[in-house]
Amino acid sequence: MRKSLIQIAAAIALTLGAILALASGANASSVMVMKAYARASATATADTGAAYVSLMVHGGPDRLLAVSTPAAKMAALHRTVEDNGVMKMEHVDAIDVPASGMLEMKPGGYHIMLMGLTAPLKEGGEIDLTLTFEKAGEVKVKAKVGGVAAGTN
């Protein structure tokens, strides 16, 4: 009897500790991925590709710092911008997501640039992406490979 009371007390102490730990990380965040897809390669010799994720940050704010994938030698965060009527891509160091906010990557906007594809991306396939956030840490995502123009139709 006495022993079980001590065990209960210990369990309560552990629970309180966990609650305090959560409360102290007031700006912690977790990420919920809603959509993830990549575009199929248009040719068998394609060396680059693009992937897109849509996600929600619970808590936060947070920042997406990096992406990696076994499907390519390198993955980078890019944004398509219009410069004097010409669409071009630029590298971004990080993407800020506001507290309880959303990040929606799409063709013509933010995207994940895949450079040095290990194999052409085939429609119907799937690639693994690891997103690294400043607060939420690593988030693993599976992206479905859609058509060559996936995301615009």
| Site residues, Cu ion (CB under 5 A) | 78, 89, 113
Cβ of 4: how many Cβ atoms within 10 Å? 8
107 or 147: CB nearest Cu ion: 107
Shortest spacing between CB 94 and Cu ion, in angstroms = 15
Q: What distance in Å separates the CA atoms of residue 80 and residue 107, rounded to the nearest whole number?
A: 8
Shortest spacing between CB 109 and Cu ion, in angstroms = 11
Cβ of 36: how many Cβ atoms within 10 Å? 20
61 or 107: CB nearest Cu ion: 107
Smallest CA-to-CA distance from 140 within 24, 1, 14, 32 is with 32
Shortest spacing between CB 114 and Cu ion, in angstroms = 9
* Phi-psi domain of 84 (left: phi exceeds 0; alpha: psi -120 through 50; beta: other): left
129 or 136: CB nearest Cu ion: 129
Residue nearest Cu ion, Cβ-based: 78
Task: List, in order, residues 6 or more apart from 11 with CB less than 8 Å away.
Answer: none
Shortest spacing between CB 115 and Cu ion, in angstroms = 9
52 or 133: CB nearest Cu ion: 52
